[in-house]
Amino acid sequence: MSEQVSVDSKKTGHPLDYLLRKDRIPHIWCPGCGIGTAFSSCLTAIQDSGIDLSKVVMVSGIGCSGRAAGYINTDSFHTTHGRAIPFATGLKTANPELNIIVFSGDGDLFAIGGNHFIHAARRNVDITVVCVNNFNYGMTGGQAAATTPHMAKTTTTPRGNPESPFNLPLLAIASGATYVARWTTLHTREFTNSVEEALLKPGFSFIEVLSPCPINYGRRNKQKPLDTLKMYQEKSIIKNGASPFELDIDLEKSIVLGKFVDVDRKTHTEQYDKICRPDNVQS
């Protein structure tokens, strides 16, 4: 496959073309949306990691970010709403040799699929979860999500969101994730490096990437795409190893980015093989 990949790359002239299903292009993402940047960073990380592409699987749920599974030129699954992680868990349990990346949005992963997330992290399922957090349900009309900042306006909170959003890294760490990081689509190098690290690390890895949603979230909060990127530049602080209690999203304060957790513990596959598939365990 690598030889074919090399030939195709020379023909197309772009180093990532071979990782795209070009017959699905143009994509559906709006001008100014950050999902394309996050998706491109993931493709670069997959390429740089050197992992066998025949064993890479991308799994997505429903939503704007969920369309990524239809664009990547590897095995992929575009699943039902909130169920990307159960699909990924099943794939990994059935075939531990697979390297699985879940690429989906905040509404899919942390509202409709919230319980699946915490239990996969608790089990330390060996998958990489990338959450594109654009603070709302972008595809379905811009409704408030579990990640919408306090007092932010959405179609369902026109006077401002009275609730507080999830602190996603804190939730991941408390649930047992062994690798946790947060970046924005402005921090593409750091985000790409984190995805590559996560792909090569055994266990449950979680990376949150903050992304502009200019059409639904940005329009209602008087925030153009460049305004959002400028906010990322001015308000973000890189603080590796920060306490998870510092990582709540409050747009009136700074946004803490970095790698917060990188620890080792036995994966779900190791534990499952030891108890349920002892013939597969090498002494």
| Predicted confidence (pLDDT) at residue 251 exceeds the cutoff of 90 | no
The DSSP secondary structure of 201-261, one letter per residue, reads SSS-EEEEEE---IIIIIHHTT--HHHHHHHHHHHEEE-TT--GGG----TTS-EEEEEEE
SS3 31: coil
Q: Which helix (H) or strand (E) holds 38?
A: helix 35-49
| Predicted confidence (pLDDT) at residue 9 exceeds the cutoff of 70 | no
Per mean pLDDT, which range of 111-115, 174-178, 200-204, 236-240 is the poorest? Answer: 111-115
| Predicted confidence (pLDDT) at residue 35 exceeds the cutoff of 90 | yes
Q: What is the mean pLDDT of the chain?
A: 93
pLDDT band at 252 (very low <50, low <70, confident <90, very high): confident
Instruction: Look up residue 155 and give its two tokens.
Output: 């179609």
pLDDT band at 281 (very low <50, low <70, confident <90, very high): low
Average pLDDT over residues 201-216: 97
Q: What is the pLDDT of residue 8?
A: 54
Distance CA 174, CA 205 (A): 13
Cis peptide before 165 (omega within 30 of 0): no
pLDDT band at 144 (very low <50, low <70, confident <90, very high): very high
Average pLDDT over residues 98-119: 96
Residue 52, C-beta contacts closer than 8 angstroms, at least 6 positions apart: 99
Q: What is the pLDDT of residue 89?
A: 97
Percent of the chain scoring above 90 in pLDDT: 89
Q: What is the pLDDT of residue 2?
A: 42
Q: What is the pLDDT of residue 12?
A: 57
| Predicted confidence (pLDDT) at residue 11 exceeds the cutoff of 70 | no
Q: What is the pLDDT of residue 279?
A: 77
Q: What is the pLDDT of residue 137?
A: 94
Average pLDDT over residues 64-90: 96
